[in-house]
Structure 1
């Protein structure tokens, strides 16, 4: 099992640079179940609690689990709901009684799970008629601001640069490439394999975020493979002096390379990264499946 997103540094970057989930995502996913509050929600792989925040108002009780104590600490610090409990747990062994849960949610994490075991656990803990809701997103569309030339072309090239960076750190690692492919393909295979009835999916566009190139760099550094890639490179260079190692790591830092390529593409090499502005648009997709009555 791969265990990313657990260090303190990547937890902080994830909180700061990843998009929040739009409230309409929860409303859309629960559209057939919002006549009254549901009793019990289990959020699996909760991270810093971003998804819990949009689903919690629809339930009387919420338990959110994650294997990372750093992520759970972040989630507890930002929690505003008295009926939400965060605790350590894993997807292959859900901490709930049989037939006890109205809904299970998974935000941007299902591709990391041992999915056959997770589906068995979902079938066990969901009440008859209960629902599994999974959702995620991929790399953003970047639209440069205050450019009078070919915005469409600049947007296409800039978006592709950050898209390529999303999976840069895992290239050549076949198991990780397979995991990443699920997100990039909007869970098309996962939709087919989910063993629940009445499956449906939605595409939801978030509101745009105003970013600078500093935000782009932070977003790249929040990607799970980035930190592991940089640590591996530091280990490979351990025989060099500290000064030589730092200089080499700076050259290998692909978050810096992304910023440089965007500056070149958008014709703003001389500008400070904080002054290069853009709109970042994330497109979310949602899958809902129901357990038979």
Structure 2
């Protein structure tokens, strides 16, 4: 299984250094959705599932009284604890499909660039269990096929990268299917009525080898009745 690579200590260090951060647009979209229909009630608890080394966990900290990051990889959690300087953020090793969290206790259950590795139906059931009334689920990622802009080589570089992705996909596991459909498949599985799917979100560009790479972000937001 491709996700097993995240348990490797060396890989985790590289992952922490080069992982693309959550875009401001996606973060603002998630926070706006969470704050809706709450009538000014404070945000107490956020849980970031598949948190890795905390790159998507830390941005939640200013907005919640307590933030818990959960990942199945001990190597990733060890690094997350190493880099954590915030009193209201903690981490725990656990699978996404069996969250060590009380029923009806979470304001936001977040999964950034991780849900495609989960057993999605089991994770969705856990989300319903742990979310408070009007609590929100946010599942978001970014599209791996990028349009490259670089001087007069934009077209050629984009074609080359498209071919590279086609070759890589031949060796990928089923998680790629969720990525390629921009999480439409995950949206369909979530058993909450109040839900929305946002695709092709314009976000910050990732700078790679001095090339302007336009990455497509997407996000599933759902609220428990």
| TM-score range for the pair, normalised by the shorter chain length | 0.7 to 0.9
Instruction: Decide whether aligned partners of structure 1 residues 166 and 106 sit closer, same or farther in structure 2, where only a CA change above 3 A counts.
Output: farther
Structure of greater relative contact order (alpha carbons < 8 Å, 6+ residues apart): 1
Larger radius of gyration: 1
Q: CA deviation at 1:144?
A: 4.9
Moved over 6 A (4+): none
Q: CA deviation at 1:107?
A: 1.2
Give secondary structure in 1 for the equivalent of 2:32. Answer: coil
Instruction: Decide whether aligned partners of structure 1 residues 74 and 280 sit closer, same or farther in structure 2, where only a CA change above 3 A counts.
Output: farther
Q: TM-score, normalised by structure 2?
A: 0.87
Segments of 5+ residues of structure 2 without an aligned counterpart are: none
Indicate the residue corresponding to 2:208 in structure 1: 211
Give secondary structure in 1 for the equivalent of 2:148. Answer: strand
Indicate the residue corresponding to 1:227 in structure 2: none
Segments of 5+ residues of structure 1 without an aligned counterpart are: 171-175, 213-276
* Cα deviation digits, residues 72-109 of structure 1 (max 9, x gap): 12212222421010111111211111111111011122
* Cα deviation digits, residues 173-204 of structure 1 (max 9, x gap): xxx2x321111111111111111121112232
Indicate the residue corresponding to 1:248 in structure 2: none
Structure with the larger strand share: 2
Structure with the larger helix share: 1
The 2-side partners of 1:281 and 1:53 are apart by 24
* Cα deviation digits, residues 238-272 of structure 1 (max 9, x gap): xxxxxxxxxxxxxxxxxxxxxxxxxxxxxxxxxxx
Indicate the residue corresponding to 1:26 in structure 2: 27
The 1-side partners of 2:124 and 2:33 are apart by 22
Give secondary structure in 2 for the equivalent of 1:76. Answer: helix
Q: TM-score, normalised by structure 1?
A: 0.68
The 1-side partners of 2:194 and 2:144 are apart by 29
Query: Which residues of 2 match residues 1-293 of structure 1 at below 5 A?
Result: 3-34=4-35, 37-145=42-150, 147-148=151-152, 151-164=153-166, 166-170=168-172, 176=173, 178-203=174-199, 204-212=201-209, 277-292=210-225
